[in-house]
């Protein structure tokens, strides 16, 4: 049994093999995804919306993420497990170090932080302290009130240039993975080509190094709404295991996401 790690994911990018990722929040689904060979499992602060029924992710705490990380780790034996750092758990470097340590001790192999330039010193400090970091650019749900809602980012030239520069700066600071959310497909393609690390897209078109979906969206059972960039695989297959298999197959064959799930 071979476990996935930052090296195996980097090799997949270099071999032009698409990386498949899903969120999970408990041992049972983590085990199912693991058995189907999902390479990356994220304990997302999306749990605020899909588990708690909130309108955004802002109510999620480090304690929440740590609990669900322990549950996921119990079920995932091969997948690379990433835990979200929730809202205001990394306002400064020392807070980030403390809260990241909690999530790593809970079973995460990497933590994910939302933001660009303001995070560079924090990212470098985490990496220096042996905490692997995943960046997150584009639509950053923790900034929903600043952004004025869940909106596509990077459509204007100045926004696109900023995202490119921030992606490169984050890579230089030490991130080993990047999530791009809700950006135009052409911009996501450019960033994926410029970075040497894997780029995982969600609402970022088909040209990133991999794809991630919230599991409830993939199964069509989200409490609030179905995002444009998602697809209800349960409706198409009729079973949970079949849904996961179909999602993996379509990501690997680059038939998902299609134009209807992407932004110009």
Q: Which residues are annotated as a binding site for 3-methyl-2-oxobutanoate?
A: 45-46, 84, 112
Decide: helix, strand or coil at residue 112.
strand
Residues within the annotated binding site for Mg(2+)?
Answer: 45, 84, 114
Give the span between the Cα atoms of 215 and 220, in whole angstroms. 8
- Which residues participate in the annotated binding site? 45-46, 84, 112, 114
Give the β-pairing of 110-114 and 199-202: unpaired
The DSSP line for 23-89 is: E--SHHHHHHHHHTT-SEEEE-TTHHHHTT--SSSTT--HHHHHHHHHHHHHH-SSSEEEEE--TTS
Residue with tokens 């060979």: 37
For this structure, is 181 an active site residue? yes
Of residues 39, 166, 181, 250, which has the active-site annotation? 181
User: What does residue 166 show for φ and ψ, rounded to 5 degrees?
Assistant: -70, -40
- The conformational region for residue 48 under phi > 0 = left, psi -120 to 50 = alpha, else beta, is alpha
Buried b (16+ CB within 10 A) or exposed e, 20-59: bbbbbbebebbbbbbebebbbbbbbbbbbbbeeeeebbbe
Scan for tokens 């393609």, then name that residue. Answer: 189
Mind telling me the catalytic residues? 181
């Amino acid at each position: 049994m071979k476990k996935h790690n930052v090296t195996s994911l980097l090799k997949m990018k270099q071999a032009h093999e698409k990386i498949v990722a899903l969120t999970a929040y408990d041992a049972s689904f983590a085990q199912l995804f693991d058995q189907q060979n999902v390479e990356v499992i994220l304990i997302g602060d999306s749990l605020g919306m899909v588990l708690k029924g909130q309108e955004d992710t802002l109510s999620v705490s480090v304690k929440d993420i740590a609990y669900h990380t322990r549950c996921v780790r119990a079920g995932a034996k091969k997948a690379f497990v990433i835990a979200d750092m929730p809202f205001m758990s990394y306002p400064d470097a020392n807070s980030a170090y403390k809260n990241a340590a909690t999530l790593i001790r809970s079973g995460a192999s990497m933590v994910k932080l939302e933001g660009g330039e303001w995070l560079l010193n924090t990212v470098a400090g985490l990496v220096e302290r042996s905490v692997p970091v995943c960046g997150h650019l584009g639509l950053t749900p923790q900034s929903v009130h600043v952004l004025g809602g869940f909106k596509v980012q990077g459509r204007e030239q100045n926004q696109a240039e900023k995202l490119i520069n921030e992606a490169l700066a984050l890579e230089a600071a030490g991130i080993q993975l990047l999530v791009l959310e809700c950006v135009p497909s052409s911009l996501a393609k450019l960033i994926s080509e410029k970075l040497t690390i894997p780029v995982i897209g969600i609402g970022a078109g088909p040209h990133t190094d991999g794809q991630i979906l919230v599991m409830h969206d993939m199964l069509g059972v989200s409490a609030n709404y179905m995002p444009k960039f998602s697809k209800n695989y349960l409706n198409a297959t009729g079973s949970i295991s079949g849904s996961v298999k179909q999602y993996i197959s379509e990501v690997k064959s680059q038939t998902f996401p299609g134009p209807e799930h992407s932004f110009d």
